[in-house]
Amino acid sequence: MNLQHCVKESESGMRLDQLLSTLDEIISRAQAQRLLKSGNVLVNGKPELSPSRKVRAGQQISVTIQQPESTHVFPEKGELDILFEESYLVVINKAAGVVVHPSAGHASGTLVNYLLHHCQDLSGIGGVLRPGIVHRIDKDTSGVLLVAKTDEAHQHMSKQFKQHSVKRQYQALVWGVPEMKHGVVNAALGRHPVRRKDISIVENDDSEENDNKKGKSAVTHWRVLQSFEFAALLACRLETGRTHQIRVHLTSIGHPLIGDPQYGKSPLKRLSGISAELSKTITNFRRQALHAELLGFEHPISGEWLEFKAPFPDDYNILLKAIQHD
């Protein structure tokens, strides 16, 4: 596939990878950067490799998108909790502990492996290791996940995610009770400068010389659903879907997720005033207390609005009931 785009006045000054990611056929900024690095992008007929190159009005951009390679991920039989399925989409209630797609250290036993065994017709746009994957949730987060079966559906759904028109709501059990009943965290996120596996809040700087420090804009709306003596149940609605967004944003306002081993480590004093039984339940909950409760979107072909809700898994229910009855 070959794309042609003439830079508009309103797009002048944008980074090249940012501009490319706005095109319907390019599903993410990461894909745009891969296309640039592989020499598949021409600016005024000359190859351009730099993602941070600033574009100017009137420039002609040509992009070659090669057909996806045949997948080398092997189908595996595994348990899938399917909320909805038809010829274009499948909606899954992902169990905690399941990795979404193969990666270093996770060559098998992923949701993609199970899906390939189940339906065998996933979209190829996500690449060899991510067929059908429109968005992701963390390994130890449970809840609703959307997968595309066709390239057309994948492109339409990716556009909705880019335009932030998808409705995404999570429920989170956090340490402490917020003083306000609701609020918004608007803070850009990027890789931690030292702990490279961590995400942190960074200053959002678009200048080329500060490209390594630049964060991606991230907005989380939260409200208190239930308050307890030492914890709270929050509903979190995402405008953006950045890696570890809710986990980092809630930690930044002093309310880390219970059980989060990466961002939510809690001092022992938090457990000093509760019963031994509840303390044991919390200690035995070995993942972040985060559940992707609801996902709403327009069907990529019919335009019908669809919403899917996933019930709490057993471990989350046990933890919540223990806190409620303490």
Which are the catalytic amino acids? Answer: 138
Long-range contact set of residues 119-122: C-beta below 8 Å, sequence gap at least 24? 119/85, 119/90, 119/149, 120/75, 121/149, 121/150, 122/147, 122/148, 122/149
Please report where in the chains the tokens 């979209």 appear, as a residue: 123
Cβ atoms of 168 and 241 within 8 Å: the answer is: yes
Cβ atoms of 128 and 116 within 8 Å: the answer is: no
Beta strands in 58-156 (DSSP E): 60-64, 82-85, 89-94, 142-148
Helices (H) and strands (E) in the chain, counts: 7, 15
Cα–Cα distance measured from residue 39 to residue 37, given in angstroms and rounded to the nearest whole number = 5
Beta pairing class for 89-94 and 142-148: antiparallel
Long-range contact set of residues 128-133: C-beta below 8 Å, sequence gap at least 24? 128/68, 128/69, 128/70, 128/71, 128/72, 128/73, 129/71, 129/73, 129/101, 129/102, 129/103, 130/101, 131/68, 131/71, 131/73, 132/90, 133/100, 133/101
> What are the two backbone dihedrals, phi and then psi, of residue 33, each rounded to the nearest 5 degrees?
-65, -35
> What are the two backbone dihedrals, phi and then psi, of residue 227, each rounded to the nearest 5 degrees?
-115, 140
Beta pairing class for 189-191 and 231-238: unpaired
Please report where in the chains the tokens 């006045």 appear, as a residue: 9
Secondary structure (3-state) at 42: strand
Which letter does DSSP use for residue 209 in this model? Answer: G
